[in-house]
Structure 1
């Protein structure tokens, strides 16, 4: 049984468990400017912060695709799967500058990709890498380029 397309999930919530809650909140809320919404917690060390990140998507990728993106972004390839968040921003250069000023390690400087974005990567809190991407074309424009198709349309 599957959910019908008329009733897909309405929200993606990525839960990042962290030992340094204050640093994670500082980075995502205060440095990146993600608005916080009220959330339930009890007392003491039971803390939670739900931050709005705009539209959410799930990107499923094979190891070969991840390695290709690493090469395009000029980022080091790590052994095994990594935890990575990709955030669309209005200005990749600015997002990297703000992150770097706040003490984040820059893993890959801004670079224009063949898929018409400007990507960069920083090391975020709790072991998560954060990719910033700035769209240079609309989805409609990108779909006219070779290689932009859904998986079921792609020749294997």
Structure 2
């Protein structure tokens, strides 16, 4: 027997919620699905459209880091966002709004890519094409 998953959600607990809402909603362009402000805490759910869970072993993570950055730098969680803009322009936009460059745009075997670090420390790979596009 198996279950049926209707949504994949990555949950980040952060100390600078307002800054990151601005970054992910207003700069990255994720749309608000739900937002709450309560005595027990604040939060927001941002819709990323299509989500996927990529599971890789540490050997493959090291290979990806080597191709995208030149050395092993990512932790156990990294976001990857397929963007419609050209990778250099998308990278510059995120940097203008608080991200820092981890590695400049490059061409990987699977796509044009760039790696940035969001204000919360999350590493983000921007990519142009996906094997999921035609599915």
TM-score range, shorter chain: 0.7 to 0.9
Cα distance in 2 for residues equivalent to 1:36 and 1:106 = 26
Max radius of gyration: which structure?
A: 1
Matched, 1:48 2:43: yes
Give the number of equivalent residue pairs. 133
Cα distance in 2 for residues equivalent to 1:52 and 1:96 = 20
Cα distance in 2 for residues equivalent to 1:38 and 1:55 = 17
Q: Is the 8 A contact 2:115 2:125 kept in 1?
A: yes
In the TM superposition, residue 75 of structure 1 has moved relative to its aligned partner by 4.4
Q: Match of 1:29?
A: 25
Q: Match of 1:16?
A: 12
In the TM superposition, residue 40 of structure 1 has moved relative to its aligned partner by 4.1
Cα distance in 1 for residues equivalent to 2:128 and 2:35 = 30
- Give 5+ residue unaligned stretches, structure 1: 141-156
Cα distance in 1 for residues equivalent to 2:61 and 2:91 = 21
Q: Is the 8 A contact 1:121 1:132 kept in 2?
A: yes
In the TM superposition, residue 53 of structure 1 has moved relative to its aligned partner by 0.8
Shift in alpha-carbon separation, 1:111–1:102, aligned structure 2, 3 A: same
Q: How does the TM-score come out when normalised to structure 2?
A: 0.87
- Give 5+ residue unaligned stretches, structure 2: none
Q: Is the 8 A contact 1:37 1:51 kept in 2?
A: yes
Matched, 1:2 2:15: no
Cα distance in 1 for residues equivalent to 2:132 and 2:57 = 25
Cα distance in 1 for residues equivalent to 2:31 and 2:118 = 17
In the TM superposition, residue 103 of structure 1 has moved relative to its aligned partner by 2.5
Q: How does the TM-score come out when normalised to structure 1?
A: 0.76
Cα distance in 1 for residues equivalent to 2:10 and 2:131 = 27
Matched, 1:90 2:84: yes
Cα distance in 1 for residues equivalent to 2:131 and 2:11 = 30
